[in-house]
A and B are shown apart, each in its own frame.
Chain A
Amino acid sequence: MDDSSVSHHNGGQVGSQIGVSVNNKQNEESSQSVQYSIPGILHFIQHEWARFELERSQWEVDRAEFEARIAFLQGERKGQENLKNDLVRRIKMLEYALKQERAKFHKLKYGVELQQGDVRPPPEEPPTEPEPAEKAQWKQGRQLIKQYLQEIGYTDTILDVRSNRVRTLLGLNNEEQVEDPNYRNYDNKFRERCGDSPINSLIRKYDYGGKEQRKGGVATGGGYNEEGLSNQETAAVFANFEFLANQEMDMDEIDDLDANKPHHTSGKQGEEVDHEAEEVLNELNLLTESEADGGGQGDEYPVGGVVGGVAAGGGEADDKPLALGELAQLTVSNEPEAYDVAGANKESFRKTWNAKYTLRSHFDGVRALAFHPTEAALVTASEDHTLKLWNLQRTVQAKKSAGLDVEPLYTFRAHTAPVLCLAMGAPRSEECFSGGLDGTIRVWNLPPPTADPYDPYDPAVQGPVLREHTDAVWSLASAHGRLLSASADGTARLWAPRAARPLLATLRDDAHAAHPAPAAAADFADGGARAAVVYRDGTLLLYDLETSQVVVRIACESAAGRVRAHPALPLLVTAHEDRHIRFWDAASGRCAHAMVAHLDAVTGLALDPNGLFLLSGSHDCSVRLWNLDTKTCVQEITAHRKKFDESILDVAFHPLRPYIASAGADGLAKVFV
């Protein structure tokens, strides 16, 4: 093009030179003999005019060409930008889907919602949704470019370029590409394939989606899919397409929420009538199911939000459920059934826990167990005077059963009497604490999970020993580097286990100073500011740990063997010998709820880290999982055999991983997944 323009310039110069030479000629002629004639002059002017006109038109053509080129480049740039934004959005959505998947995995494995701060739908794609003013501007610009492109005839090229890009990005080959890239084409083809079967209702749905998308396409700038990809017969593209269409709808106003519901039902209809176009339906099932899921999720999401203490604002809340549903589709397609259950009704949904590992190596009843704060490992404490460390990732396949046998990694020997209680140290501290019938509390340094059980003896495994208790230590709780113990000597004590003077405070009930009832269990409450202690006489006391004074006194007629503080709420849970589990308001001391939970004395209690589920064990040989919200039993597992009149002695949740465990008087510990 530069060449042509140069030539034009030259032409102009040539023209002027000619003009000059003509003048010279004329001068010469005038000097020789002047022969001006009016017709000659007119002719000359006409000639010159025509020449300029020609040049002008040529320049105009040039200009148009340049403009077209600019438009093309701009268009391409926009296309790239859109593509980039969309990819960013996709990455975010995939990230989110991954998180969802993790949460779901957690839920399925664990039976509880993973309440993590980071499980949020991604922020509503700021890059693809500019401010309204900006949007209008952008829209205008886009229209303008489009016009240019159409005038000049570049449209096809650009669209081809873009659709090719999209295809390569989607990892599809573009050989199957057919001339007319039109979304509706696919529908039509589809219709042909399906004939007049009732599946049309389904297709109508897709039409709807398509229209929606067309409407939203220009406005949101995500329009590349509008013309971009089309007639691949692959479900993948279609799914993608539909996915994007939904995304667009999602960005539109709230009434789309309503629009989604008809989708849902039409999808269901489609599922009912599928004898003719089975393969097509199979292809579509994925989509319809995920839509149904979306609905389900949307319904339940606010519940989860409230439980988690997340007050989602109106508009946001409307957006999120939809996003959730769609995103869920990315992850669930291979196990739609399981997820359908999940989506259908959260209350009825539960993961079924199954025994997976049997930990057999103790010679006598296992009194306590505690999971490692992060690893798939746990420590058990037994009446055989030992503690054992188990790595669940080092297993031996048991012969007949589906379960796995685990051999202990390490045996902790130092107690001279049955070990009664156990507490795990903070993450990364790699320590645990045990209390025994011998009245000692021992600090242990956990060997690494790679240790060999037959390594040489390392005395460094034994940490400090706390000997102030004068009778059996029945309960330990650890939090914030401090340790709380409850003993049959009638006291509860607060320790800094590794300090030079480890005993921080002794908690005594001054009301019964003369004949203190033995303390049965203790737990930190109120973020570690208080200690809840239950006594053999049924009293439940809350101590302020700053002052060591009793701040709340609760009397109960039945002796309790365990107390646990809710991780988030001011709620205490106690396990009683009269088969009850009782819930107490930690602020007022009021009994918030009491229920007969087992057929025999309740012995073990554990709250899941999110505070949604409660695990209880009892001498009736069963472990029960409770929904804390509804106080209903979600699952019952018969886990252990009786020794004398004892059966299950402790239960535990893994703080991070989907494991629960029970410890029994039969010398076994079992881990459920």
Chain B
Amino acid sequence: MADGVQILRRNRPGSKAKDFCRWPDEPFEEMDSTLAVQQFIQQTIRRDPANLEAILKMPEAQDEGVWKYEHLRQFCMELNGLAVRLQSECKPETCTQMTATEQWIFLCAAHKTPKECPAIDYTRHTLDGAACLLNSNKYFPSRVSIKESSVGKLGSVCRRVYRIFSHAYFHHRAIFDAFEKETHLCKRFTYFVTKYSIISKEILILPKLDDETPISQTVGESEA
């Protein structure tokens, strides 16, 4: 099937790990799939995960809601990697609460009444909850157009997800750094929420990772 004329972008069983998804880029205009935005984002990330501008440069005539939605999906997906690393180190005995700085204790919103989950549970529950919400047939039935009311949901997901970064940064710095070096995920996330003003600057408690000074330490409410 895979002749020279037609490029088939698929991972055939038996492919080497290094060849996984290693196919020529497909121009966004030629993507006719309903998953075009995801394809495009993943393709750009694969090319260079550090090139935040390229990754977050929205193609023209792209619906911004879908663009943000797909990016958030990608963040949550890649955060699984951080969660995996945290699982080995972040124990309920040591991190009994979800904290970043000592200023706030974050309550886990996955439960009927928000409660003080240990950090690892908070991380997992938040990611699981985000997976459910972002895949919810009720709020996000389509991946090509998104209701205005549902776009508002993205903000709360982003706020909670950011706490995972901040907990890792302040309590598991080695893991955070190793992960960040590989994925540039926190930088990308910060860039993303700032660019689209999804969460207010005050909540972004992590110091600028590459350069500049830490931004304001006054943070938002601890509501779940």
A and B interact: yes
Residues of chain A touching chain B, judged by Cβ–Cβ distance below 8 Å, are 358, 360-364, 384-386, 398-399, 405, 407-408, 411, 413-418, 420, 437-439, 453-454, 456-457, 459, 471-472, 474-475, 486, 488, 517-521, 535-536, 559, 561-562, 577-579, 600-601, 603, 619, 641-646, 666-667
B204 to chain A, nearest CB (A): 24
A362: which B residues are within 8 A, CB to CB? 131, 135
Q: Does B13 contact A (CB under 8 A)?
A: yes
- Evaluate contact between A457 and B87: CB separation under 8 angstroms: yes
Q: Given contacts A486-B14, A519-B14, could you give 12 more A-B pairs where the C-beta distance is less than 8 Å? A: A360-B136, A362-B135, A363-B77, A384-B77, A413-B83, A414-B84, A417-B20, A457-B87, A472-B15, A559-B12, A578-B1, A645-B10
Helix, strand, loop or mixed for chain A's interface? Answer: loop
- Cα distance A384–B79 in the bound complex, in angstroms: 10
B131 to chain A, nearest CB (A): 5
B55-73 Cβ-contact flags toward A at 8 Å (1 or 0): 0000000000000000001
- Cα distance A590–B184 in the bound complex, in angstroms: 53
B143 to chain A, nearest CB (A): 9
Q: Does B152 contact A (CB under 8 A)?
A: no
B127: which A residues are within 8 A, CB to CB? 411
- With A439-B17, A457-B92 known as contacts, the answer to whether A363 contacts B84 (CB < 8 A) is no
**Closest residue to A405 on the B side, CB-wise?**
B137
B179-204, CB < 8 A from A? none
**Closest residue to B124 on the A side, CB-wise?**
A457
Q: Does B128 contact A (CB under 8 A)?
A: yes
- With A385-B80, A457-B87 known as contacts, the answer to whether A644 contacts B128 (CB < 8 A) is no
A577: which B residues are within 8 A, CB to CB? 1-2, 12
A358: which B residues are within 8 A, CB to CB? 137
A398: which B residues are within 8 A, CB to CB? 137
B7-44, CB < 8 A from A? 8-17, 20, 23, 26, 33-35, 38-39
B74-97 Cβ-contact flags toward A at 8 Å (1 or 0): 101100110110010000100000
Among candidates A360, A407, A438, A488, residue contacting B16 with C-beta atoms closer than 8 Å: A488
- Evaluate contact between A454 and B33: CB separation under 8 angstroms: no
Residues of chain B touching chain A, judged by Cβ–Cβ distance below 8 Å, are 1-2, 8-17, 20, 23, 26, 33-35, 38-39, 73-74, 76-77, 80-81, 83-84, 87, 92, 108, 110-111, 117-118, 120-121, 124-125, 127-129, 131-132, 134-138
- Evaluate contact between B137 and A520: CB separation under 8 angstroms: no
- Evaluate contact between B84 and A413: CB separation under 8 angstroms: yes
- Evaluate contact between B34 and A645: CB separation under 8 angstroms: no
- Cα distance A642–B117 in the bound complex, in angstroms: 39
A407: which B residues are within 8 A, CB to CB? 132
B217 to chain A, nearest CB (A): 30
B22 to chain A, nearest CB (A): 12
Among candidates A416, A453, A474, A646, residue contacting B84 with C-beta atoms closer than 8 Å: A416
- Evaluate contact between B84 and A385: CB separation under 8 angstroms: yes
- Evaluate contact between B16 and A411: CB separation under 8 angstroms: no
- Evaluate contact between A360 and B135: CB separation under 8 angstroms: yes
A646: which B residues are within 8 A, CB to CB? 9-11
A472: which B residues are within 8 A, CB to CB? 15-17, 20
Among candidates B9, B77, B87, B108, residue contacting A414 with C-beta atoms closer than 8 Å: B87
- Cα distance A492–B128 in the bound complex, in angstroms: 34
B121 to chain A, nearest CB (A): 5
B134: which A residues are within 8 A, CB to CB? 363
- With A360-B135, A454-B128 known as contacts, the answer to whether A417 contacts B80 (CB < 8 A) is no
- With A405-B137, A414-B87 known as contacts, the answer to whether A456 contacts B14 (CB < 8 A) is no
A667: which B residues are within 8 A, CB to CB? 135
Among candidates A453, A454, A601, residue contacting B1 with C-beta atoms closer than 8 Å: A601
**Closest residue to A559 on the B side, CB-wise?**
B12
- Evaluate contact between B16 and A471: CB separation under 8 angstroms: yes
- With A361-B132, A413-B83, A454-B125 known as contacts, the answer to whether A488 contacts B15 (CB < 8 A) is yes
- Evaluate contact between A364 and B77: CB separation under 8 angstroms: yes
Among candidates A399, A518, A645, residue contacting B137 with C-beta atoms closer than 8 Å: A399
List 13 interface pairs A-B (beta carbons < 8 Å), by A numbering: A362-B135, A411-B128, A413-B87, A416-B84, A418-B20, A437-B20, A456-B117, A456-B121, A472-B16, A488-B17, A536-B14, A561-B12, A643-B39
B171 to chain A, nearest CB (A): 16
- Cα distance A601–B13 in the bound complex, in angstroms: 11
B121: which A residues are within 8 A, CB to CB? 454, 456-457
A568 to chain B, nearest CB (A): 26
B124: which A residues are within 8 A, CB to CB? 411, 413, 457
B73: which A residues are within 8 A, CB to CB? 363
- Evaluate contact between A417 and B128: CB separation under 8 angstroms: no
B12: which A residues are within 8 A, CB to CB? 520, 536, 559, 561, 577, 601
A562: which B residues are within 8 A, CB to CB? 13
A361: which B residues are within 8 A, CB to CB? 131-132, 135
A408: which B residues are within 8 A, CB to CB? 128, 131-132
- Evaluate contact between A645 and B9: CB separation under 8 angstroms: yes
A644: which B residues are within 8 A, CB to CB? 9-10, 23, 26, 33, 39
**Closest residue to B72 on the A side, CB-wise?**
A363
